[in-house]
Amino acid sequence: MNKFVLAVAAGLLASTSSYAGVTEEMLRDDTASTGDVLTNGMGRHLQRYSPLDTLNKENVKNLVPAWAFSLGGEKQRGQETQPLVHDGVMYITGSYSRLYAIDVKTGQEIWQYDARLPEGILPCCDVVNRGAAIYGDNIYFGTLDARIVALNKDTGDVVWRKKIADYKAGYSYTAAPLIVNGLIITGNSGGEFGIVGEVQARDAETGEMVWTRPVIEGHMGTYKGEESTMTGTLNATWPGDMWKTGGGATWLGGSYDIETDTLVFGAGNPAPWNSHLRNAGQPLDDNSGDNLYAASRIGINPENGEIKWHFQTTPREGWDYDGVNEVVAYTNRAGEKRWATADRNGFFYVLNREDGAFVRGVPFVKDISWAEGLDDTGRPVFSEGNRPGDPSASADGKKGEVIFASPSFLGGKNWMPMAFSQNTGNFYVPSNEWGMDIWNEPITYKKGAAYLGAGFTIKPNYEDHIGSLKAIDPDTGDIKWEFKNDAPLWGGVMTTAGGLVFTGTPEGEFIAFDDETGEKLWSFQTGSGIVGQPITWEQDGEQFVSIISGWGGAVPLWGGEVAKKVNYLNQGGLLWTFRLPKQLAEN
Residues marked active site are found at 320
**Burial state string for 152-183 with b = 16 or more CB within 10 A and e = fewer than 16:** ebbeeeebbebebbebebbbbbbbbbbbbeeb
Nearest residue to 191 via CA among 451, 414, 469? 451
Residues 6+ apart with CB under 8 A from 329: 45, 46, 47, 255, 257, 259, 264, 337, 338, 339, 353
- The Cα angle at residue 485 between residues 483 and 490, in degrees rounded to 5: 100
**CA-CA distance, 319 to 307, in Å (whole number)?**
26
How far from the centroid of its chain's Cα atoms is residue 239's Cα?
Answer: 30
Nearest residue to 86 via CA among 138, 130, 129? 138
Nearest residue to 401 via CA among 385, 381, 383? 385
**Burial state string for 332-344 with b = 16 or more CB within 10 A and e = fewer than 16:** eeeeeebbbbbbb
Contact between 173 and 197 (Cβ < 8 Å): no
**CA-CA distance, 282 to 344, in Å (whole number)?**
24
How far from the centroid of its chain's Cα atoms is residue 181's Cα?
Answer: 21
- The 3-state DSSP class for residue 199 equals strand
Contact between 101 and 86 (Cβ < 8 Å): no
Contact between 110 and 160 (Cβ < 8 Å): no
What's the alpha-carbon Rg for the chain, to the nearest Å?
Answer: 23
Element (H, E) at 180: strand 178-180
Residues 6+ apart with CB under 8 A from 361: 347, 348, 349, 350, 374, 378
- The 3-state DSSP class for residue 18 equals helix
Contact between 164 and 151 (Cβ < 8 Å): no
- The 3-state DSSP class for residue 200 equals strand
- Supply the DSSP string of 515-535, one letter for each residue: TTT--EEEEEE-SS---S--E
- CB atoms near residue 397 (< 10 Å): 12
**CA-CA distance, 335 to 475, in Å (whole number)?**
12
Beta partners for 211? 201, 223
**CA-CA distance, 417 to 328, in Å (whole number)?**
10
- The Cα angle at residue 534 between residues 533 and 537, in degrees rounded to 5: 140
**CA-CA distance, 66 to 129, in Å (whole number)?**
25
